[in-house]
Amino acid sequence: MAAEVLLTIAGDAKHLGARIGATLVLHTWGSALTHHPHVHGIVPGGGLAADGKSWVACRPGFFLPVRVLSRLFRRRFIEGLQHLHRAQRLQFFGDLGVLRDARGFAEWLAPMRKQEWVVYAKRPFAGPQAVLAYLSRYTHRVAISNSRLVAMDERGITLRWKDYRAKGTGQAKGKLRHKTMTLAPQEFMRRFLLHVLPGGFHRIRHYGLLANGNRRDALAAARAALQVQAEAVPAAEPAIRTPTFVCWHCGRALLIIEIVMRERTLIRGPPS
């Protein structure tokens, strides 16, 4: 849905009037391991015109209006929720059971139409290396790294977290935000397992010019429009395979001559 909104607004002649590409990475956690689903995205600063032969660049330091993005995303998201509710594909438990009723769900959804939704857009990166550095921080991370684990004792598991709601300025703000919390083992595992995605789920997706189905042709057209050549990728050096078994005395690799399988006999316990 986020990619659809980006492609729609960018394709509007009032804003950019171009076909863009986007790479989105799903994150499901907050600093305290709470459930906080959101996506990080990288978008080129422009796109191909309707003729597919010329490049339309965005204004320096400005890509798309965030207010327009946020309001279209709000509308599409709410419409999606309504569609899922009508199809009975939403489940509600506990105190939220009243939302199973269509009228109760509509009343709960109404205030969200008036609340401003926030789309956060950062300034352009300094170059390709900065883009790769940014992506590398988000592509294959898990919900918490070992460096944030402080202690594990009879009280539970203590971890560092960042409280983004803490107020303050300068260094004082940083000190207020960085905190520690101790969770019972069961609660720590519950929070961690919230962010284990289903098997086969793709956390990184590409859209528009970067979509897997047409990426090669789209990137070739973009390079032609920008009059740039693709950099030659150096051939990878052959990997040096480390031997699985090494002799403790001489350090040379051990060669497997034969594997003798155990006979299929019943394993008895030691004699009494």
pLDDT tens figures, 242-257: 777 788 888 888 887 8
In angstroms, the CA 230 to CA 211 distance is 18
Phi-psi region of 33 (alpha: psi -120 to 50; beta: other; left: phi over 0): left
Predicted pLDDT of residue 224: 92
Contact (Cβ atoms closer than 8 angstroms) between residue 191 and residue 34? yes
Q: What are phi and psi of 57, to 5 degrees?
A: -90, 145
Helix (H, G, I), strand (E, B) or coil at 98: helix
In angstroms, the CA 50 to CA 59 distance is 18
Predicted pLDDT of residue 62: 86
In the predicted model, residues of the chain with pLDDT beneath 70 are: 168-174, 233, 235-236, 262-272
Predicted pLDDT of residue 61: 79
Predicted pLDDT of residue 263: 66
pTM of the model: 0.74
In angstroms, the CA 43 to CA 64 distance is 11
Helix (H, G, I), strand (E, B) or coil at 88: coil
